[in-house]
Structures are given as C-alpha cells and as structure tokens.
Amino acid sequence: MSDLALLAFALTLGLASRAPWFGPGRGTPRRPAEPPAPAELALWSGLLALAASLLAARALF
C-alpha cells in the first residue's frame, strides 16, 4: 500500500507544480503555457517506470 501512496503523492506533486494557480501573482499577465522540458519529461517517465516496476514486483512476490 505504501508504494501506491508514494506513487499518488509523486503524481499529485508533479501535476500541482504544473497547475496554473502556481503561476505569476495577481495583476501579472499570463504567459502561454510552456511545453515541459525534455529533462522534465525524462524525470517523470523514469519515475512512472520505477513505480510501475515496483508495483509489478510486489504483485509477483
């Protein structure tokens, strides 16, 4: 169960950091959304692969 909780926390933190309410303060014009950097994509895909392998290993053993 702790693996699922860790995965949920990591995904929530990652999605919240990309959310618009973490953007500039009031009165500041909004910029168009920037695509995620390749390093950020690699980080999140690696975290998801790690979480998937942990869950698969836990299901097998």
pLDDT (tens digit per residue) in 6-58: 777 767 766 655 555 555 555 555 666 677 677 777 888 888 888 888 888 88
The position carrying tokens 């950020």 is: 40
Q: Which two tokens stand for residue 50?
A: 């790690």
Q: What is the pLDDT of residue 30?
A: 63
Measured in residues, the chain has a length of 61
